[in-house]
Amino acid sequence: MISLTVNDRPVTVAAEPDTPLLWVLREHLGLTGTKYGCGVAACGACTVHLDGAAVRACALPASEAAGRAVTTIEGLPGGAQNPLVRAWVAVEAPQCGYCQTGQIMQAATLLARTPQPSRAEILAHMDGNLCRCASYNQIVEAIQQAARGA
Amino acid sequence: MSRTSTLGRRGVLAGATGLALAFAFRGPESAEAAGPAALDAPSLNAPALNAYVRIGPDGTITIQAPVPEMGQGSDTSLPLILAEELDADWSRVRIATAPVRPAFDSPIFRSQFVVASLSVRGYWMPLRIAGAQARRVLLEAVAARWGVPVAELTTEPSVVVHAASGRRISYGEVAAFATVPATLPEITPAALKPVSAFRLIGRDVPRHDVPAKALGQTVFAIDVRLPGMLHATVARSPGLGARPVSHNGAELLRRPGITHVIPLDQGVAIVGERIEAVLAARRALRVQWSPGEGPAHESDAALASYLTDARDTSRSGVTAGRAGEAAQAIAAAARVHTAEFATDYVYHAQMEPLACVASITAEGVEIWDGTQWPSQVRDEAARIAGVPAERVKVNMLTMGGGFGRRAAIDTSIETVHIAKAVGRPVKVMATREDDIANAHARPMTAHRIDVGLDAEGRITGWRHRLAADLVVPILYGRGRLDAQRGVHHIVTCHANVAQYDVPATLTEHVYREHGVRTAPWRGIGAGPNAFAVEAVIDDLARQARTDPLAYRMALLRDARAKAVLQAVGEMADWGRRREGTSLGIGFARLGLPQLGESLSATVAEVALDRAHGRIRVLRLWCAADIGLAVQPRNAMRQIEGSLLWGVSSALTERLTFRDGAVQQSNFTDYEVLRASDTPEVHVRLIRSGEMPLPAGELGLGTVAPAISNAVLAATGRRLNIMPFTPERVRAALAA
């Protein structure tokens, strides 16, 4: 049994300690907005926040999240009114959309520390999050739009 | 359900539930298909295509999107076409996903099948007519009730108007009393809205699918969870035809949570109660495979042998295209320019690994799938389960990327087999490692191009010999290739130079089959073929001491092609010299000649690190003529994505085989474009005509030649093997 806080809610799941956090979220808790892409922290599709920091849930044993606060896309503050989500929708960043929740979770940690990032800062921060549709330029635009508070 | 019974179906649902119309008509575009033996477009003289629209008494208009969404935006653009002719208030339109039934077949493919960037093109006229028919039914109902001639009625968005009396009635109010006539009104193309009157088409409306995607609420196949569902994953044999001979399944079954180990035709499935147990067992699975169809494939050695085949004119290939007598023209030429090119296998790397969910009950089969070919999934599932196709329900889910990989339905088929074996609902999910080991690659290619020139340097003949693996037999079966008299349209597309004023051309394809699994890959043959062709054009321009853009402008046949070239030259400020970077250009077509081709020209600005052999693409400008853009912003995004696929496949993507098996295992060693390597992209659409033409793969073929041509401009050296890895770049510079 592992106890952790997910989206401000304390939960206890019957998972082995070495189960990747990704499967605890998706299968034990039904939070399928966090995606499986590679299983080796190489694509960013599973990005969530652990105590506010962006982590790859596919490569993080659930035991390491025990007693800590996990935030997934479902728990992103403001939901549809979150500035990043609003910018993502306004810019229409997603194409297939599969990687986009991970992109948004990754982007959120950039804006938390760099409120007005440059294109180069954004590209560097987002470099671990693959988008096969190659929506990278739209992701830059959406992050800058969210930063402007538009 | 047979097609004939569909043809005769009429739906009437009036009153509280509103008005539902099931439309039936024959494909109106048959005249357009009168072209060469249609390959993927056997005929537009199609069986019935029905579009289905419901108007509720509250004014809600529900339109079925006939094909699944994979990022291409047709979930919005197809219903929009119907809404335009219906004169619907778009804010009152609700988009639903159609069931998989012949009524929703594309008239091009006679199937619900999303490939070749042809969804908008294929459904364009059927959806317009369906919308116009629905509008006409509403008008006739109002005319009868008000006792006025139907010709005096007009519409505004979701409102019928009688100007003479000043009366107005909303579509919802009409739906509450209207009935569908026994014979639906005939709508001829001439009775459709003039393009100049469009309110929705050609203007950007928000994409229907985007908000749910940004919130993580979109359900992909991998996200489906059913009560009592088991989880499974499949280890695929390394090559076509290789079967499991033995495995350690008995040992794995002793693990907690593992319920079944099932040998499949070309794989072994591990099934269990929990995904984490299944994945752990997968890592411990050991399988001995029988030899496959091909010899133990070694791609490095194969590339050399493909080049030998392409070079050896004594080895005859299948003639894929011919105009005039190219061989004689080359033999008689004053001078012959010869060049060779090659491309490696590439992998789709769609972000959602292959996944499918199936449940078989006494009622039939239900499938939740992200597939580009839902009709084929339905038919194969019916065959496997031994039930009629009407008892298979395929839920078309959004795909986490398709790009051609999900045109192959291997995982869907295996899922039905597994569900049948275990007697419970089951979700099959590939690990990334298995997804790449089971890659259905774009074929490796080798090209030899010989160009005959006369004493004045004019091109007299062009021969393109292509050696490549096949896709058609794997996707469609052997019979299809025979029916096409051996012409492999997927690999050979755009290998000719029809856009240029060349009097005699010949395209020959020398087959190579190594038991490698292949599939259509975004842009199909245009990727490798446009690379080879457009590089040769630059070689010829250089020999003629002519600017490459000016050389193309003089050689292009038609005004549309010249317009995109002119536009991209302006966009890129082509004539301006850059400090430390160079420009290159490429041109590419997309589509089937008999259905209309879209055109694109791209300029790449490239920086070359000579010491390390590293290429960086800084900017891309692309001018694209896709006819009439239904959703311009989305079309530009699709073209941008296609261009960036061009960058990715030109610079890093490389799938290799050793001893018959894929060597790469994940995104760590199969490198796709990342954020930090993404150039700025500028796309401009050039409007021509009144027909939407393919967009989703347009531009891909322009990029590799533009990069190679930019390096040529800077160094005088040709990069002729794709991808342009640092080793290959250094070798070319040192040559």
Segment A10-53, tens digit of pLDDT = 999 999 999 999 999 999 999 999 999 999 999 999 999 999 99
Comparing alpha-carbon positions, the chain A residue that sits nearest to B224 is A32
Cα–Cα nearest to B551, from B560, B561, B540: B540
Are residue A47 and residue A110 in the same domain, yes or no? no
B388 CB-near residues (< 8 Å, 6+ apart): B382
Q: What is the pLDDT of residue B51?
A: 54
pLDDT at B191: 86
Cβ contact B431:B276 at 8 Å: no
CATH number of the domain bearing residue A90: 1.10.150.120
Question: Do A64 and A113 belong together in one domain?
Answer: no
A45 and A87 share one domain: no
Residue B24's pLDDT is: 31
Residues 588-647 of B with CB under 8 A from A: 633-634, 637-638, 640-641, 644-645
What is the residue range of A67's domain? Answer: 2-75
Please report the domains of chain B, with CATH numbers, ordered by start residue. Answer: 3-213 (3.30.365.10), 221-292+354-429 (3.30.365.10), 299-346+441-734 (3.30.365.10)
- Same structural domain, A67 and A125: no
Total structural domains in chain A?
A: 2
Shared domain for A58 and A15, answered yes or no, is yes
The reported pLDDT for the residue numbered A93 is: 98
Q: What is the pLDDT of residue B8?
A: 25
Q: What is the 3-state secondary structure (H, E, C) of A37-87?
A: CCCCCCCCCCEEEECCEEEEHHHCEHHHHCCCEEECHHHCCCHHHCHHHHH
pLDDT at A150: 59
Residues of chain A numbered 63-92 and touching chain B (CB < 8 Å)? 72-74, 79-80, 85, 88-89, 92
Convert B221-240 to b/e letters by CB count within 10 Å (16 or more is b).
bbbbeeeebbbbbbbbbbbb
Q: Does B283 touch chain A (CB under 8 A)?
A: no
Q: Do B690 and B560 touch, CB atoms closer than 8 A?
A: no
pLDDT at B35: 31
What's the pLDDT at B266? 96
Q: Is A148 left (phi over 0), alpha (psi -120 to 50) or beta?
A: alpha
Q: Any CB–CB contact under 8 A between B229 and chain A?
A: no
Mark which of A21, A44, A75 sits at the end of a domain: A75
Q: Verify that A47 and A101 share a domain, yes or no.
A: no
Nearest CB to A85 within list B214, B403, B668: B214
The Cα B676–Cα B297 span in angstroms is 34
Q: In CATH, what number is assigned to the domain containing residue A15?
A: 3.10.20.30
Q: Are residues A36 and A87 in the same domain?
A: no
Give the model's pLDDT for residue B30: 32
- A48 and A102: one domain? no
Q: What is the pLDDT of residue B295?
A: 73
What would the two tokens of residue B237 be?
Answer: 């044999």
Residue B493 has a pLDDT of 93
pLDDT of amino acid B450: 98
Pick A96's closest partner by Cβ from B399, B648, B673: B399
Residue A71 has pLDDT above 90, yes or no: yes
Q: In terms of domains, do A91 and A114 share one?
A: yes
**Cβ(A14)–Cβ(A77) below 8 Å:** no
Chain B residues with CB under 8 Å of A33 CB are 215-217
pLDDT, position B91 = 97
Predicted confidence at residue B513, as pLDDT, reads: 83
Task: Answer yes or no: do A143 and A126 share one domain.
Answer: yes
pLDDT score recorded for residue B48: 24
Residues in chain B where the model's pLDDT stays below 50 = 1-17, 22-50
Task: Return all residues near B412 (Cβ < 8 A) that are at least 6 apart.
Answer: B356, B358, B367, B369, B371, B377, B380, B381
The pLDDT of residue B248 is: 98
